[in-house]
Structure 1
Amino acid sequence: MIRRLAIEGYRSIRDLVVDLEPLTVVTGANGSGKSSLYRALRLLADCGEGRIIASLAAVGGLDAVRWAGPERGILGGQVAQGTVRAKAVSLRLGVATDELGYAIDLGLPVAQQSAFDLDPEIKQEHVFAGLDPRPAGVLVERTRGLVRMRGDGGWRTLGSGMHPWASVLDELAGHEEAAELSGARRMLRGWRFHDALRTDRTAPARQPQIATRSVRLDDDGANLAAVLRTTIEAGWGYEVSRAIDEAFPGSRLLLPAVDGRMSVALEQPGMLRPLTVSELSDGTLQYLLLVAAMLSAEKPSLVVLNEPERSLHADLVEPLAGLVRRAAEDTQVVVVTHQQRLADALGGARVELDKQGGETLVAGREGPLDQPSWHWPKR
């Protein structure tokens, strides 16, 4: 389970550390920084896939997403006005379980002639033991091009000359003596995100799909019918039926397959025929997509939902909350929402964000000493 998340220098987040529970609900007013926290988690997942540099370049590079406020942020409830920046520009992201953590430090490239000026550089990476990357707990350390590993006899070199765009999680995760790198990569690759499930008239989920086993939902929901059928055949049929009945009492999910293609239909009380997927409302389809996401046959280590209440009728909030709570018994879940009713129905741990002087903070914290311990390694 992910226990701690640390973000520094990203969008409206100057310096933020939060603890996560099996079910964590992130709330706050519009513009408070919920989306920044969500995107930071996605960037960490990109580290596991080896695409963080490309992801940052796609949105305009480090200059487009880095913290633009004063270095000292909020002091004593007052905005600390900066003049000349004293520290090097950096975007730092970190995450930790009880056993293993990963932290990355990205910065601006050293001045050079290159057509890839939107690509930031990886300045540092650390894999560490425990919840805080203190020097004593660091297991693998990458500083610019040099990678070292701590062993019984002290530090020894794993690699040198690393390219500034290449992560140790990609280049050295298969190293026979650095199992910690493989563990960190598996941790990040085990996350799933759902924020782009389409329900419009031309949504992929409304089209017939190839009938092939699918253990996880596509980002756009294109394999909805196949995921639901795979889940049912994997022994989770009762859970799917329960989620459908709680939202649409007396209804029955149908997954007709014709000529190797599968679609979704819903049989409802009082209707003379089932409603095909093209006839379902946006809210009904959104709920079915969330059922597939939370009950898929492959159980991820972490699922992050960004505003799952979109398009849902108020009557579906309670069934959705029940679905998420039950899923959180097997899979860690983070829900980002601005709807108070859903947050209250979900329960779980609450992280309420607030913005002061342009900076995202956790509401109720007295100051920086009031947040969980996290010590970024020095460059």
Structure 2
Amino acid sequence: MMLRSMFAENYRSLRSIRMDLAGVNLFIGENGVGKSNLYRALQLVQAAVRGHLAREIAEEGGMASAIWSGPQRVGKPARIRLDAELIDEERAITFRYRIDTVDLDRAVADAFAGARLQVPEPGQFAEFSLVFPDFPHRAFSPRELSDGQMRFLALAAALLSYRRPRFIALNEPETSLHPDMLPALAAMVASAAGESQIWIVTHSERLAELVRQQCGVRPRRVIRKDGATWIDGMRLTGAVEEEDE
């Protein structure tokens, strides 16, 4: 197994850097230029794969120490993005590990009309809040959010986690969600489908159509046939007629 490339953005002194790697990689530079941050970025990816990312961030001094240390754009909080690509030459398999909160920011903005998720530096308890465009100087805590808003954020946590499970099952995920949130939900499903197998059971024709558009799959309609549950158009072999076309 060999590390083939790495990418880091907004991590310590690494504003945005991507490089291809070889068997031997030699770096030279003066003290304080950020040489150590190159391998620290890889340590974070390794910690994420092992499920120890939160501990690794805490040992670094929290997000305040890990985030980009240079000037930031006004109104656009920095988000850490790390990416490592490895190749198993014996089996000709490529693995990619990524830590990225950009998808989460986009999903929240799309679902809540431009709102921004605000996560302070962790203390004794993890906290978060939402800042809406109509109230830019007011952060709404979880207890002030609606059931639908909280449900969407829970779905986002499951679908956009940096360490997704191989199989994710969603039972009527549209429940309590405002119809305007469904496009963002379908986009999150499409994003998660790149790494996980997704199983969705829904009443919503609109959500089914949005997922079809985002993922390119046809919904399988569940029906009653001779008093038993069945899939419309499915043969006894398990093949669906549409799949034969």
CA-CA distance at 1:283 after TM superposition: 0.8
Distance 2:80 2:184 in 1: 19
**Post-superposition offset of 1:233:** 7.2
Q: Are the counterparts in 2 of residues 256 and 264 from structure 1 also a CA contact under 8 Å?
A: yes
> Can you list the C-alpha shifts for 1:113-170, whole angstroms capped at 9, x where unaligned?
xxxxxxxxxxxxxxxxxxxxxxxxxxxxxxxxxxxxxxxxxxxxxxxxxxxxxxxxxx
2:165 pairs with 300, 306, 320, which one? Answer: 300
Aligned pair in 2 of structure 1 residues 213, 364: CA closer, same or farther (>3 Å)? same
Identify which of structures 1 and 2 has the higher relative contact order when contacts are C-alpha pairs closer than 8 Å and 6+ apart. 1
In the TM superposition, what whole-angstrom CA distance separates every residue of 1:184-204 from its partner, at most 9, and x where no partner exists? Answer: xxxxxxxxxxxxxxxxxxxxx
Q: Cα distance 1:232–1:291, how it changes in 2: closer, same or farther (>3 A)?
A: farther
> Of the candidates 311, 317, 326, which is equivalent to residue 191 of structure 2?
326
Is the 1:354–1:360 contact (alpha carbons within 8 Å) kept by the matching residues of 2? yes
Structure 2 residue corresponding to 1:355, chosen from 203, 220, 224: 224
Give secondary structure in 1 for the equivalent of 2:233. coil
Among 246, 251, 271, the alignment partner of 2:110 is: 246
Kept after mapping to 2: 8 A contact 1:251/1:269: yes
Shift of 1:232: 6.1
Any idea what the Cα deviations from partners look like across 1:83-133, whole Å, max 9, x if unmatched?
xxxxxxxxxxxxxxxxxxxxxxxxxxxxxxxxxxxxxxxxxxxxxxxxxxx
Change beyond 3 A, Cα 1:275–1:240: same
Q: Write the distance in 2 (CA, Å) between the matches of 1:299 and 1:316.
A: 22
Superposed, 1:3-18 pairs within 5 Å as: none
Aligned-residue identity in percent: 33
Q: CA deviation at 1:323?
A: 1.1
Letter in 2 for 1:368: L
Match of 2:24 in 1: none
TM-superposed deviation, 1:240: 1.0
State whether residues 232 and 240 of structure 1, in contact with CA within 8 Å, keep that contact through their aligned partners in structure 2. Answer: no
Picking from 141, 144, 156, the partner of 1:276 is: 141
Does the residue aligned with 1:213 lie in a helix, a strand or coil? helix
CA deviation vs aligned residue, 1:180-228 (integer Å, no higher than 9, x gap)? xxxxxxxxxxxxxxxxxxxxxxxxxxxxxxxx939xxxxxxxxxxxxxx
Q: In the alignment, what sits opposite 1:263?
A: 127
- Aligned pair partner of 1:346 in 203, 206, 211: 211
Q: CA RMSD in A?
A: 2.4
Q: Report the secondary structure of 1:361's partner residue.
A: strand
**Paired AA for residue 153 in structure 2:** L
Residue of structure 2 in register with 1:315 after alignment = 180
Over 3 Å counting, the alpha-carbon distance change for 1:328 and 1:372 in structure 2 is same
CA contact (8 A) 2:167 2:198 kept: yes
CA contact (8 A) 2:129 2:142 kept: yes
C-alpha spacing 1:265/1:233, structure 2 compared with 1 (3 Å) = farther
Output the TM-score relative to the length of structure 1. 0.35
Question: Any gaps of 5 or more consecutive residues in structure 2?
Answer: 1-52, 56-78, 83-98, 241-245
SS in 2 for 1:351: coil
- Structure 1: give runs of 5+ residues left out of the alignment: 1-211, 215-230, 374-379
Matched, 1:368 2:232: no
**C-alpha contact (below 8 Å) 2:129/2:139 kept by paired residues:** yes
The 8 Å contact of residues 158 and 164 in structure 2, kept in 1 or not, is answered as no
Contact 1:254 1:264 in 2 (8 A): yes
Using the alignment, how far apart are the partners of 2:204 and 2:189 within structure 1?
Answer: 15
Amino acid at match of 1:321: A
Distance in 2 of aligned mates of 1:255 and 1:353: 41
Superposed CA offset, 1:283-309 (max 9, x none): 111111111100112122111111110
Report if the CA contact (8 A) 2:171-2:201 is conserved.
Answer: yes
